[in-house]
A and B are shown apart, each in its own frame.
Chain A
């Protein structure tokens, strides 16, 4: 691609187009000699001048009459331009025609024999199996049972200390009252309800 002209080239071109070398003034001659040569200047000047009359013979050729038939054909015939939607419809119609009349290359067998083909394939399958199991663990733990047996005994009158001591309903640990509150006390006595002698007592409702 040609690069655009710089100022010197433009000035040189302008001079070539307008003046013969002999008609240039002193400054212009100096400019031409600085950037070109007399020979090149005169040659280019001659090219430009002679180019005007170069094709004299060609310009004398008479054109043939206008072929209106060709233009009429163009207007009415197949070559006439059609709107875009019409060309789309035509294309669709052509596609349908081609589809229906296109020879089928695929042969369809009516009773195809069933054959089984085994294709060996080597593949790697990673299968992760999760196994779950129940494990029973036997833990032996010693259990200590404490059994208190209260025994009725007859206390002689002489034995003052034993007389005052009555059998207790609860097994109360000895200590201060706070510990007493925290302790789990179990009723170890016998309910009157279950006592057959309780019937002897009057005006007592046992919640029956």
Chain B
């Protein structure tokens, strides 16, 4: 990164791209509900932004965190566009047969993924950064320009919200499935 700042070197940028593009692309795909083309475009734009803002980078901080800050801000701007909120709003069908319950492994993941995708920007970002990108609470706070307490709170309420909506897909609910002796 220092080489990129000092020499304005494309080779340095290519190295950074090779190192981080994969993770960043995954992040964009998750944030944009699986839209891979859009994620690829955002990835290219992100590296153009890195070139633009390279002088803003504090070399005492982690490049990885800084680049995710830019990526999150790009997602935030995109989330504000109204059309994005209308995509994938189709309701998931309730499990039809008694065998297809919430706790079925594949069914649960499908439903969970859908519910994560439906989360609003702040909840979704902390959820993905924490559980998929494996950032610490402190790093997430830095990326989202907020406090650790806020990040904890958002994680807690995001999980609660998903749980509340998933309960609706469980016809048997707790009496039959979770009887603890």
Closest CB-CB distance, B34 to chain A, in whole Å? 7
Is B131 part of the binding interface, using a Cβ–Cβ cutoff of 8 Å?
yes
0/1 interface trace, chain A 1-39, chain B, CB 8 Å (1 if under): 011110001100100100001000000000000000111
Interface on chain B toward A: helix, strand, loop, or mixed SS?
A: helix
Q: Known: A9-B156, A68-B14, A75-B51. Contact between A61 and B36, CB under 8 A?
A: yes
Closest CB-CB distance, A108 to chain B, in whole Å? 48
Choose among A46, A54, A59, A66 the residue that contacts B44 (Cβ–Cβ < 8 A). Answer: A66
Determine if A13 and B155 form an interchain contact, defined as CB atoms under 8 angstroms apart: yes
Taken together as a complex, chains A and B put the C-alpha atoms of A63 and B24 apart, in Å, by: 9
Choose among A44, A63, A67 the residue that contacts B160 (Cβ–Cβ < 8 A). Answer: A44
Q: Known: A13-B152, A54-B113. Contact between A61 and B159, CB under 8 A?
A: no
Determine if A2 and B131 form an interchain contact, defined as CB atoms under 8 angstroms apart: no
Choose among A38, A39, A44, A63 the residue that contacts B25 (Cβ–Cβ < 8 A). Answer: A63
Q: Is the interface on chain A under 10, 10 to 19, 20 to 34, or 35 or more residues?
A: 35 or more
Q: Known: A2-B157, A13-B155, A55-B29. Contact between A47 and B163, CB under 8 A?
A: yes
Chain A residues with Cβ under 8 A from B24's Cβ?
63
* Chain B interface residues toward A at CB < 8 A: 8, 10, 13-14, 17, 21-22, 24-26, 29-30, 34, 36, 39-40, 43-44, 47-48, 51-52, 103, 108-109, 112-113, 116, 127-128, 131-132, 149-150, 152-157, 159-160, 162-163, 166-167, 173-174, 177-178, 180
Chain A residues with Cβ under 8 A from B51's Cβ?
71, 74-75
Is A40 part of the binding interface, using a Cβ–Cβ cutoff of 8 Å?
yes
Determine if B152 and A38 form an interchain contact, defined as CB atoms under 8 angstroms apart: no
Determine if B180 and A51 form an interchain contact, defined as CB atoms under 8 angstroms apart: no
Taken together as a complex, chains A and B put the C-alpha atoms of A59 and B30 apart, in Å, by: 9
Taken together as a complex, chains A and B put the C-alpha atoms of A13 and B154 apart, in Å, by: 12
Chain A residues with Cβ under 8 A from B48's Cβ?
70-71, 74
* Chain A interface residues toward B at CB < 8 A: 2-5, 9-10, 13, 16, 21, 37-40, 42-44, 46-48, 50-55, 58-59, 61-64, 66-68, 70-72, 74-75, 81
Taken together as a complex, chains A and B put the C-alpha atoms of A10 and B156 apart, in Å, by: 8
Closest-by-CB residue of B relative to A39 is B174
Determine if B178 and A38 form an interchain contact, defined as CB atoms under 8 angstroms apart: yes
Q: Known: A39-B174, A47-B166. Contact between A62 and B22, CB under 8 A?
A: yes
